[in-house]
Chains A and B, each alone.
Chain A
Amino acid sequence: DVKVTQSSRYLVKRTGEKVFLECVQDMDHENMFWYRQDPGLGLRLIYFSYDVKMKEKGDIPEGYSVSREKKERFSLILESASTNQTSMYLCASSLEGAGTEAFFGQGTRLTVV
């Protein structure tokens, strides 16, 4: 089975802190994604990567950056955390090509105080 693992289930950080969310997948998938889920807004794409060191902005990249130095690992960075970044963060991975679904991690509930 595909496994996507996010480093933390729950995080509490202070405003202005630099925050790192880590995600690792074990199925050699080319694509990796970071989404956030907010009530009434569904899942919104922050960034995605289709290869090592490659990244593309999603729909809401402001205030975030990403890093993909190895194929299996995709990190989301909040440069200076703000309260409006309190959310559920979801990492996913998928194979390249048609007809493939994305597999999600268990999510990280981040609270910025």
Chain B
Amino acid sequence: DQQVKQNSPSLSVQEGRISILNCDYTNSMFDYFLWYKKYPAEGPTFLISISSIKDKNEDGRFTVFLNKSAKHLSLHIVPSQPGDSAVYFCAARATGANSKLTFGKGITLSVRP
């Protein structure tokens, strides 16, 4: 049973436009959410996170929104750049889970010049 779902496997956007990557979860015990970015043949790198007590967190071009009632979060990248082309993973952690992260399947973002 997949607890973190990234239902769209890929997204293509024009350089300079907004990229919106979506993530849904089913476990109501999740209280911390993270986004990771991964290039081919490299390990994932941490991008941005949000606690369940917030509904928005912003870091430069990246903003994560959390809608707890809908069990939905999204990552907005504005403006999108070609270097943002990568696989993006949504991850979540439950309270008291020894910091174990549960990941989604990932979304491949392509930013066209």
Task: Give residues in A with beta carbon < 8 Å to B.
Answer: 4, 9, 31, 33, 35, 40-45, 48, 50, 56, 58, 90, 92, 94-107, 109
Task: Give the contact stretch, choosing among B13-21, B59-67, B68-76, B95-103.
Answer: B95-103
Whether the pair A104, B43 counts as a contact (CB closer than 8 A) is: yes
Whether the pair A98, B100 counts as a contact (CB closer than 8 A) is: no
- The 9 closest A-B CB pairs, nearest first, are A104-B43, A42-B105, A43-B103, A101-B46, A50-B98, A31-B99, A104-B44, A106-B43, A107-B43
B30 at the interface (CB under 8 A from A): no
Q: How far is the CB of B51 from chain A (nearest CB, A)?
A: 6
Q: How far is the CB of B43 from chain A (nearest CB, A)?
A: 4
Which residues of B, 65-90, contact A by the 8 Å Cβ criterion?
89
Whether the pair B31, A41 counts as a contact (CB closer than 8 A) is: no
Whether the pair A107, B41 counts as a contact (CB closer than 8 A) is: yes
Whether the pair B44, A90 counts as a contact (CB closer than 8 A) is: yes
Closest to A98 in B: B32
Whether the pair A101, B34 counts as a contact (CB closer than 8 A) is: yes
Closest to B46 in A: A101
Q: A33 and B100 in contact (CB under 8 A), knowing A104-B45, A106-B42?
A: yes
Give the residue of A40, A43, A99 whose beta carbon is less than 8 angstroms from that of B44: A43
Whether the pair A58, B106 counts as a contact (CB closer than 8 A) is: no
Closest to A88 in B: B41
Q: A99 and B101 in contact (CB under 8 A), knowing A4-B43, A42-B89, A106-B42?
A: no
With a cutoff of 8 Å between Cβ atoms, the chain A residues found around residue B34 in the complex are: 101
A-B contact pairs, 30 of them (CB 8 A): A9-B41, A31-B99, A31-B100, A33-B100, A33-B101, A40-B9, A40-B105, A42-B6, A42-B103, A42-B105, A43-B44, A43-B106, A44-B103, A45-B100, A45-B102, A50-B98, A56-B98, A90-B43, A92-B43, A95-B99, A96-B99, A99-B32, A99-B49, A99-B51, A101-B34, A103-B46, A104-B43, A104-B45, A106-B42, A106-B43
Assembly CA distance A25 to B54 (angstroms)? 31
Q: A98 and B31 in contact (CB under 8 A), knowing A42-B105, A43-B103?
A: yes
With a cutoff of 8 Å between Cβ atoms, the chain A residues found around residue B98 in the complex are: 31, 48, 50, 56, 96
